[in-house]
A and B are shown apart, each in its own frame.
Chain A
């Protein structure tokens, strides 16, 4: 458990306040004041769970644009491809499946990068991240349940599961 730092509190406060304004969507003075008070209280107690590393990483414009480009362009393409594949399996009677759990290495180091990669894998239908592990050299591994196992070799399976997604995410998080 780490101590609460001031930049982490500010970043959490901004996220909470943006969420409050988006939910209420009214700009009277008293509602804005109540929102500021509530989100400052929440930020004071929740900042140490929410921010683990550098608090201001999103305020770099180039990194922010790359992040937006990933979530709006590259990821929906993968999502639609995997969804069509899954719908074909489901309407075909659910018989030609070949499930298994494979262990793939990932190049991500930080917590946020690992979370982004595993959430992207889970959000595409057909693959679910089940567990993460780390060996003694600092290399991170993901255990992925895959509904149609084509490769059992770790490198090739990792390329087939998360090839384009991880290449794009490596430029945002390291």
Chain B
């Protein structure tokens, strides 16, 4: 059981590192937003699963395990809403990436 918890922790750390590198190195706002989703989904979810296993099998504390599950569920439910609102707000505020996008159908339909 100890090994399973360690594996979940290391997977979470891997995806969080990938998301952080993406946030630092990506060229424009929307690509950075895609990378930050990586932190919030699998990074957060693996840490929450490892925490639930640890609290249930080592601390024998059902309240802590359920509270961690609620935290993970709340982050999974609320994160896409914030990401969606921020992307739409950034687009409507006139922020465009420097390099030309492949297709830009939102700009074609709404900018005219």
Contact = CB atoms under 8 A, between A and B. Distances in A.
A and B part of one assembly: yes
A103 B70 CA distance: 34
Contacts of A94: 21-22, 25-27, 31
Q: Which 9 residue pairs spanning A and B have beta carbons closest together?
A: A100-B102, A122-B80, A87-B18, A25-B63, A90-B22, A149-B102, A103-B105, A90-B18, A100-B103
A86 B18 contact: yes
Interface in B12-40: 14-15, 18-19, 21-22, 25-28, 30-31, 33-35, 37-38
A125 B19 CA distance: 10
B109 A103 contact: yes
A89 interface: yes
Contacts, number: 124
A101 B81 contact: no
A123 interface: yes
Contacts of A126: 34
B14 A87 contact: yes
Contacts of B42: 79-80, 83
